[in-house]
Amino acid sequence: MSVIEGKYPAKQEEDESKPSFPEFENNDQYMIQKRLPMRPNICVICLTCLTCSGKYGSELCTCEPTEIQWNIKKIGYKVDFRRKSVSSSNEAFLTWLRANRSARLMWSERYKEVKICTGCNSACWRWMKMYKGNETSGQNPSQEPAGVSSRAAAPFSPKLGTSEDEKPPQEHVNIPESSPISPKSPQRPRPEVKTELTPNQPQVPTTFTSPISPLNTVLRATHSPPIQSTKTPPRPADDPPHLAAKRSRKEHPPYIREREREKVEEAPLGPSILLKTVTVRSRKKIYKEKIAISPTTTFESVLKYAIPISPPEGKRFVMKDIDKQIEYVPDDFIAEAIPGVEHIDIYVYIEKIPDVQLDDFEDL
Residue 58 included in any domain: yes
Number of domains the chain contains: 2
pLDDT per position as a tens digit, 311-362: 999 999 999 998 888 999 999 999 888 888 889 999 999 999 988 888 888 8
pLDDT at residue number 303 = 92
Residue 110 in any domain: the answer is yes
Question: Do the domain assignments include residue 139?
Answer: no
How far apart are alpha carbons 91 and 182 in whole angstroms? Answer: 70
The per-residue pLDDT for 156 is: 41
Between the alpha carbon of residue 354 and those of residues 315, 316, 324, 351, the distances in Å are 9, 10, 18, 9
**E strands, the chain, where?**
81-85, 113-117, 207-209, 218-220, 277-281, 286-292, 315-320, 327-328, 343-352
Please identify, among 103, 133, 163, the residue that sits at the C-terminal boundary of a domain. Answer: 133
Q: Looking at residues 59-78, what average pLDDT do you find?
A: 87
Percentage of residues of the chain with pLDDT beyond 90 = 21
> 3-class DSSP state for residue 249?
helix
- Confidence category of residue 74, pLDDT binned at 50, 70, 90: confident
Q: Which residues contact 305 (CB under 8 A, 6 or more apart)?
A: 288, 291
The percentage of the chain sitting over the pLDDT mark of 70, rounded to a whole number, equals 53
Task: Give a yes or no: residue 183 inside a domain.
Answer: no
Asked whether residue 189 is domain-assigned, the answer is no
Residue at which a domain ends, from 78, 102, 133:
133
* In-domain check, residue 45: yes
- Cβ 192 vs Cβ 181: under 8 Å: no
**Which of these three, 97, 116, 133, is where a domain ends?**
133
Q: Evaluate whether residue 81 is within a structural domain.
A: yes
Is position 248 within any domain?
no
**Residue 316 sits in which domain range?**
277-352
**pLDDT at residue 202 greater than cutoff 70:** no
pLDDT, position 165: 46
Query: What's the CATH code of the domain at 309?
Result: 3.10.20
| pLDDT tens column, 228-255 | 656 565 555 555 555 666 666 555 555 5
Identify the band that residue 298 occupies on the pLDDT scale cut at 50, 70 and 90. very high
